[in-house]
Structure 1
Amino acid sequence: MSDYRIERDSMGERQIPSTVYYGIQTLRAVENFPISGLKPLPTYVDACLLIKKATAIANGELGCIPPEISQAIVQATDEILQGNLRDQFVVDVYQAGAGTSHHMNINEVLANRALEILGDSKGNYQRVSPNDHVNYGQSTNDVIPTAIRIGGLLALAHTLYPALDQAIAALNEKAIAFQDVVKSGRTHLQDAVPVRLGESFRAWARILADHARRVKLAAEDLSVLGLGGSAAGTGLNTHPDYRFRVAELLSELIDQPLHSAPHLMAAMQSMAPFVAVSGTLRNLAQDMIKISHDLRLMDSGPKTGFKEIQLPPVQPGSSIMPGKYNPVMAEMISMVCFQVIGYDTAITLAAQAGQLELNVMMPLIAYDLIQSIEILGNAINALSEKCLQGIEAKEERCLAYAEGSLALVTALNPHIGYLNAAAVAKESLETGKSLRQIVLERGLMGEAELAQVLDLETMSLLPETGN
């Protein structure tokens, strides 16, 4: 058996290693784009394979390709979806515009595996063609934006949504556990009125729940498919029923509602759905950064910082200082979120860079959007499991800060007036006397009334929840 086979395209002949399942167009792309070493994300490959499975079934049912070839393509996609030949998708993320190189990589691998299933040899494209059979009625121009949609929906369902649910649950559990812990609030990084530690966690849970709602709302547009538009949105070389049947089949394959776009050209040209989803990820990322920074501040110390909470130590924190533990999970998620924000900027620039009937920057959008969803989901999941679920409250430290805060004077405003309250705070800061002592010495309030006004438990209640 020869070590290579000869394949031909419109540019000529090339030797292809006999062991590989990709073909001549993939080989040219590998040679042309040795850019980053980054290969297509597995979820993106899955999305492309699911599209090829649905299109093979539809084209077989509609009589557009022979039934045995349709069945062989479907079997090939199933085998790869189950884990076989995953190393055959080799085109760099930074490649030919629109994603033609990756698309042909998919088509060639499926064609060659289908040939084997039919008892033929790899490279015999007269029998099963990457273009005429695997890609029948399709174009890179409608397949790739559909793959971004399917990949995004899969990544959200399998990664980000479960991670957000877990984080929200962990924060709500801590909200209940810490509800009776009173701590000093802080605004401008200065002392503020007392709050409940539990309410801080409950607020974070609500913030994440609101973000989950926003992401899901934006993701609804991913269910509108331009598949069937072919090269420019006109549906050239497709069966009249093809686009509707493919949308129905894909809905079944990913167990999510999908439908064909009312205007295929619009669905193929505009990258707006991807920008919208990416924008919600950016928004989520900026709040996750804020939460992670809050966790680090509240855990700072142990002797010279706030140390109002204890984050679980998961690894030694220094190569030189023994016994040091750092808030590494919170640090990690900030870095991931910075990357997500960077990806969002790239997606926005790529989305506006299309011309006329095609956006050639789709390979970048595909990688950055799906990568954003997955790394953000994985990071939030790790934060929940390695950090949020194991947080402990330092109750005595929290109470000491709350009782020593000059911001308690705010509660005196309605009783002694703003100027008197400011004078009391100033004297307390200068002399070290407590607010209570100064108010009583100045005869501004009686002891019983003062005790009621400065009750930390009452002062830190939230009116919305009453607890």
Structure 2
Amino acid sequence: MATDTQKPTDAPAENIAVATVRTVEMEGARTRTEHDLLGYGEVPVGAYWGIHTKRAVANFPITGVPVGHFPEFVKSLALVKQAAARANRRLGYLSADKADAIDRACTLVATEPRFAESFVVDAIQGGAGTSTNMNANEVIANVALELMGHPLGHYAALHPNDDVNMAQSTNDAYPTALRLAVMFATQPLIKALDDLAYAFKGKAVEFADVLKMGRTQLMDAVPMTLGQEFDGFHATMKEDVARLNEIVGLFREVNLGATAIGTGINADPRYASLAVEELSRISGHPMVLASNLIEATSDLGAFVLFSGVLKRVAVKLSKICNDLRLLSSGPRTGFGEIRLPAVQAGSSIMPGKVNPVIPEVVNQVAFLVIGHDLTVTLCAEGGQLQLNAFEPTIGYCVLSSLRMLTAAVDTLTKRCIEGIEADRERCRSLVHGSIGLVTALVPALGYEACSRVAQRALAENRPVADIVLEEGLLTETQLDHLLELEAMTLPSRVRRNNPGA
């Protein structure tokens, strides 16, 4: 970008109020001159953004991730501006031609991906989101000017602040758009989790007859089926879907119309209700005006709760992936109860090695989401008085977590879970060789006798069944009955001294 220039000596006085549309040749590229309270600067003549955006790009080279990286946020910003324009038109403050141009421009920005490239300010920025709001105002204003047949930057015809930002402040427009963006971005995650739960259920049915050993503290516990294990994964994912659907509803409450600090300064008393009504209509989400706009402008508690739910999802996903890596470990020297799909070579030095790379990448995404949750917590706590200046980082963390989780869950479902196979023979041999079988005999033989059998089986490296038969504690028929699949993996109780009952 070109460097700023001082005000030209022959510049007309009206340039103090509106941007100059003078075009110059600069470094081989045509530019237009715009100004703000700090002076004048050159902007590429074809850029939809303006001088405020240019300064923000220079001031915040932080992450390299622009606001346009989050299409749901770009869409939401445009819808908030569209709702504001419609409300101001209904109230008679915005002329029909300007309101129509802004309305059409917002529709284009919200629906055409190419405009996301014009949202170039870094997602993390100082100023409580002012740079993002200015970026949105300038892009929408210039798209509207183009629709009206004016040159870009001809703000005398339609102004980014006076018209596009009418009756708004960054402090109500930005958080409203961010809340709406989170609602949009949550739906793909909910679908991805539903698909994952469905895939787990499919495997639960497929593996319903695969007997295996359950484990607690990595030690043999009692028998179960592999289907039961996967059904547990299904259940926990469905729980998270329910929690997400429940908690995302908190973002329906917005402070649009609060303007600077919640008092509604520079907005018609009727504006807030009308703007929220319009936003509900065009977004498809029933938004609600906060009952106390001062509280709603400074409080970010909804983000803390929502981020906590994302952390919960991440923790549970990571635990499942830990289980998958353990269950598939080997293939000869580990658990080896399941086989994950082989998706790539696992080593540059060890031929034939295949690693559990899909669960591993989900683990890493989970770690990032957990870290983002702490960041969100600190940002929410760091607010002061009537505003929280750290909302951009909250937005970056929450939207990034949603995007990464959605991609990770989709990847886990399609490239891992759907292709998992059970090693039935391995599962069977581990069960029959485990002393954990003795627990199924406790109701019939008692704890003391079973403890003795377990000690002998372990010391002599023999199956539990052999010891029981050798000691004459049960007949073969009685033992077979007690060690049936259903008897060992479902609730049951056998009368003492009547094991065959």
TM-score grouping bracket, smaller chain normalisation: over 0.9
Question: What one-letter code is carried by the residue in structure 2 that aligns with 1:395?
Answer: R
Alignment partner for residue 72 of structure 1, among 81, 84, 101? 101
1:429-465 CA-partner distances (Å, limit 9, x unpaired): 11122212212222323333222222233211268xx
- Provide the rounded CA distance (Å) in 1 between the counterparts of 2:277 and 2:467: 75
Q: Does 1:274 align with 2:291?
A: no
Q: Deviations over 1:163-196 (max 9, x none)?
A: 0110111111111111111111111101111001
Of residues 8, 32, 36, the one that matches 1:5 is 32
Whether the 8 Å contact between 1:436 and 1:450 is mirrored in structure 2 is yes
Aligned partner of 2:386 among 357, 371, 392: 357
Aligned to 2:16: none
Residue in structure 1 matched with residue 374 of structure 2 by the alignment: 345
Per-residue CA deviations over 1:128-171 (Å, capped at 9, x if unaligned) read 111110000110101111111101000011x2011011011111
Partner residue of 1:14? 41
Query: What does 1:106-185 correspond to in 2, within 5 Å?
Result: 106-157=136-187, 159-185=188-214
Output the amino acid matched with 2:235. R
| Structure 2 residue matching 1:84: 3-state secondary structure | helix
Give the distance between the partners of 1:73 and 1:319, measured in 2 at CA: 57
Distance 1:243 1:316, change over 3 A: same
C-alpha deviation, 1:322, in angstroms: 2.1
- 1:51 maps to 80
Give 1:70 shift.
1.1
Give me the whole-angstrom Cα distance separating, in 1, the residues matched to 2:462 and 2:352. 37
Q: Does residue 213 of the first structure (1) align with residue 236 of the second (2)?
A: no
The answer to whether the 8 Å contact 2:128/2:388 transfers is yes
SS at match of 1:221: helix
2:462 pairs with 427, 433, 440, which one? 433
Describe the SS at the equivalent of 2:113. coil
Does the 8 Å CA contact 1:99/1:362 hold for their aligned counterparts?
A: yes
Partner SS, residue 8 of structure 1: strand
Distance 1:39 1:110 in 2: 17
Maintained 8 Å contact 2:433/2:462: no
Q: How far off is 1:101 after superposition?
A: 0.8
Distance 2:349 2:76 in 1: 47
Residues 364-375 of structure 1 aligned to structure 2 (within 5 Å): 364-375=393-404
SS class of match (1:6): strand
**CA distance in 2 between partners of 1:281 and 1:86 (Å):** 26
Structure 1 stretch 341-350 or stretch 235-244: which is displaced more? 235-244
The alpha-carbon deviation at position 34 of structure 1 amounts to 1.7
Work out whether residues 269 and 358 of structure 1, in 8 Å CA contact, stay in contact via their aligned partners in 2.
yes
1 CA distance for matches of 2:451 and 2:164?
78
1:335 to 360, 364, 367: 364
What's the counterpart of residue 232 of structure 1?
261
2: CA distance, partners of 1:146 / 1:104:
15
Residue in 2 that maps onto 1:33: 60
Larger-Rg structure = 2
Counterparts of 1:8 and 1:293, CA distance in 2: 56
How well do the aligned residues superpose, as a CA RMSD in angstroms? Answer: 1.5
Distance of 2:143 and 2:444 partners within structure 1: 83
Q: Per-residue deviation at 1:94? A: 2.4
- Is contact 2:434–2:464 with CA below 8 Å preserved after alignment? no
Given candidates 402, 417, 424, the residue that maps to 1:388 is 417
Counterpart-to-counterpart distance in 1, 2:340 and 2:275: 49
Does structure 2 conserve the Cα–Cα contact (< 8 Å) formed by 1:182 and 1:457? no
Q: Deviations over 1:34-91 (max 9, x none)?
A: 2221111222112111111211122122212111111111221222221233221111
Q: 2:27 maps to what in 1?
A: none
CA distance in 2 between partners of 1:119 and 1:437 (Å): 92
Query: Paired residue for 1:444?
Result: 473
Local SS of the residue matching 1:143: helix
After TM superposition, the runs of 4+ consecutive aligned structure 1 residues lying more than 6 A away are none
User: Which of 445, 448, 454 is matched with 1:416 structurally?
Assistant: 445
Contact conserved, 1:21 with 1:109, CA < 8 A, in 2?
Answer: yes
Output aligned runs, 1:284-363, within 5 Å: 284-363=313-392
Q: Equivalent of 2:51, from 24, 27, 31? A: 24
The structure showing larger relative contact order (alpha-carbon pairs under 8 Å, at least 6 residues apart) is: 1
Q: Is the 8 A contact 1:196 1:461 kept in 2?
A: no
CA deviation map 1:286-309 (0-9, x unaligned): 010000011111111111111111
> Residues 308 and 394 of structure 1 are in contact (CA less than 8 Å); yes or no, is this contact kept in structure 2?
yes
Q: What amino acid sits opposite 2:384 in the alignment? A: Q
Whole-angstrom distance in 1 between the partners of 2:449 and 2:331: 37
Which SS does the other structure have where 2:344 is aligned? coil
Q: Is the 8 A contact 1:300 1:307 kept in 2?
A: yes
Query: Structure 1 stretches of 5 or more lacking a match?
Result: none
* CA displacement at 1:254 relative to structure 2: 2.6
Q: Any idea what SS the aligned residue of 1:305 has?
A: coil
CA distance in 2, matches of 1:79, 1:279: 34
- State whether residues 44 and 366 of structure 1, in contact with CA within 8 Å, keep that contact through their aligned partners in structure 2: no
Structure 1 range deviating more: 334-343 or 454-463 = 454-463
Counterpart Cα distance in 2 of 1:261 and 1:198? 47
Deviation larger for 100-109 or 90-99? 90-99
Quote the sequence identity (%). Answer: 43
1:86 lines up with 2:116 in the alignment: yes
- Note the C-alpha offset of 1:359: 0.3
- Give ranges in structure 2 of 5+ residues lacking alignment: 1-22, 25-29, 493-501
Residues 447, 86 of structure 1: CA spacing in aligned structure 2 closer, same or farther, 3 A cutoff? closer
Match for 1:142: what amino acid?
D
* Alignment partners' CA distance in 2, 1:323 and 1:434: 34
Query: Does structure 1 conserve the Cα–Cα contact (< 8 Å) formed by 2:81 and 2:164?
Result: yes
C-alpha displacement of 1:397:
1.0
Distance 1:177 1:245 in 2: 54
TM-score (norm 2): 0.89
Tell me, yes or no, if the aligned pair for 2:434 and 2:463 is still in contact at 8 Å: no
TM-score by length of 1: 0.96
Deviations 1:202-244 (A, max 9, x none): 1111101111111221111100111111111111122233222
> What is the distance in 2 between the residues matched to 1:462 and 1:97?
60
Within the candidate set 117, 121, 125, 1:95 is matched to 125
Task: Give 2:6's aligned residue.
Answer: none
